[in-house]
């Protein structure tokens, strides 16, 4: 099973992507001190965007979701306006295609492939041009990497290896943000040069980057809905079912258990072990990927 995509320098990008924008995003030269946030799709980029936005503003929250998206744009998809210096940039490209500079700080967030698979499925299933019949069909495409942005573990491992070689890459996981958020935020603040994060700022970052607050911010007006429709093509073409992409669905660890069969879980485990067989640390995902949770 394969979902529609196009090749971009031996990497898979959405079939409807603007090649020129991707090329400009990939080949641009980063500004001194720039911050780039990256992940495989549906792995925590939105959460990290909000955390970085808040940290760089001393904990001051946005009034609208548009404020966050304009402060941390997505050049692969939306391009960049000339002369604009945003707080940070968002990318989904692999490390080899992301513009690199030792003067730039990179933040990468990984997510266990089972939850990433389910979240990506719910995002893509209603979009025009995909016609995904079921989760079982999507699972096969995800496992084989025959879909936009390719195989998730390849994406993660490429960035993880880069982070072991470059001190200006902060590598974290969605699970750390879910289970040890305060500790992870403090570490990230230190990486961004805010070693002495005051209590009030930390409290505000925690509060205003909560899943509930982010979702309420996105629902204050229809900007997010129109932005996602325009950027995914769902504004131009209607398909059966819901064609409104969801950036924030559940925000939890372990929802994959509501979708995976025991056989699918076993196959993903085997795939994961094969990809990480030479690694001492496997991102702390052992319990998160168990088919049956421990009591």
- pLDDT value at 74 more than 80: yes
Average pLDDT, the chain: 89
Query: What is the reported pLDDT for 84?
Result: 76
Segment 266-292 mean pLDDT: 94
- pLDDT value at 162 more than 50: yes
Going by pLDDT thresholds of 50, 70 and 90, the confidence category of residue 247 is: low
- pLDDT value at 242 more than 50: no
Pick the closest to residue 189 from 198, 176, 179 (CA basis): 198
Residue pLDDT, tens place only, 124-146: 887 777 889 899 999 999 999 99
Going by pLDDT thresholds of 50, 70 and 90, the confidence category of residue 107 is: very high
Q: Hey, what are 21's tokens?
A: 């924008």
Domain extents for the chain?
Answer: 12-111+146-231+246-251
Query: What is the reported pLDDT for 252?
Result: 83
Segment 162-182 mean pLDDT: 97
According to DSSP, the residues that pair with 30 across neighbouring strands are none
DSSP string, 45-103: HHHHHHHHHHHHTTTPPPSSHHHHHHHS--HHHH---TT---S-EEE-S-GGGS---TT
Query: What is the reported pLDDT for 255?
Result: 94
Instruction: Compute the distance between CA of residue 25 and CA of residue 19 in angstroms, rounded to an integer.
Output: 10
Q: Where are the alpha helices (H) located in the chain, listed in sequence order? A: 19-27, 45-56, 65-71, 75-78, 113-124, 135-144, 152-165, 174-179, 181-191, 199-208, 211-218, 223-232, 262-275
Is residue 92 part of the annotated active site? The answer reads yes
Give the CATH fold of the 12-111+146-231+246-251 domain: Rossmann fold (3.40.50)
Contact 181, 206 (CB under 8 A): yes
Q: pTM, whole model, 2 decimals? A: 0.92
Catalytic residue among 32, 50, 85, 92: 92
Count how many residues are written for the chain. 295
Instruction: Compute the distance between CA of residue 164 and CA of residue 183 in angstroms, rounded to an integer.
Output: 21
Pick the closest to residue 48 from 106, 127, 135 (CA basis): 106
* 117 phi, psi to nearest 5 deg: -60, -50
Residue pLDDT, tens place only, 189-235: 999 999 889 999 999 999 999 999 998 887 766 655 665 555 544 43
Query: What is the reported pLDDT for 144?
Result: 97
Q: 247 in the Ramachandran plot: left (φ > 0), alpha (ψ -120 to 50) or beta? A: alpha
What are the distances in angstroms from CA 86 to CA 71, 191, 202, 239? 5, 18, 22, 35
């Amino acid at each position: 099973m394969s979902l529609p995509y196009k090749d971009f320098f031996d990497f898979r990008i959405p079939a409807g992507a603007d090649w020129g924008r991707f090329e400009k995003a990939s080949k641009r030269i980063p500004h001194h001190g720039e911050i780039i946030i990256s992940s495989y799709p549906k792995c925590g980029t939105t959460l990290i965007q909000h955390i970085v936005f808040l940290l760089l503003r001393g904990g001051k929250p946005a009034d609208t979701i548009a404020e966050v998206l304009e402060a941390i744009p997505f050049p692969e998809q939306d391009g960049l306006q000339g002369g604009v210096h945003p707080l940070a940039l968002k990318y989904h490209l692999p490390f080899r295609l992301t513009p690199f500079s030792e003067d730039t700080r990179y933040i990468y967030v990984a997510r266990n492939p089972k939850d990433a698979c389910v979240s990506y499925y719910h995002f893509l299933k209603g979009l025009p041009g995909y016609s995904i019949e079921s989760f079982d069909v999507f699972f096969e495409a995800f496992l084989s990497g025959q879909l936009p942005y390719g195989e998730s573990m390849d994406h993660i491992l490429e960035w993880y290896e880069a982070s072991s070689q470059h001190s200006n890459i902060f590598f974290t996981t969605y699970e750390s943000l879910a289970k040890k958020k305060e500790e992870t935020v403090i570490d990230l603040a230190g990486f961004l040069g805010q070693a002495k994060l005051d209590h009030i700022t930390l409290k505000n970052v925690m509060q205003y980057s909560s899943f509930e607050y982010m979702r309420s911010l996105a629902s204050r007006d229809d900007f997010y809905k129109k932005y996602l429709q325009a950027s995914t093509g769902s504004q131009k073409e209607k398909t059966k079912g819901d064609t409104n992409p969801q950036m924030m669905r559940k925000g939890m660890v372990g929802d994959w258990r509501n979708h995976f069969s025991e056989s699918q879980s076993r196959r993903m485990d085997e795939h994961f072990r094969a990809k990480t067989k030479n690694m001492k640390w496997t991102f702390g995902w052992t319990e998160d990927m168990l088919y049956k949770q421990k009591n």
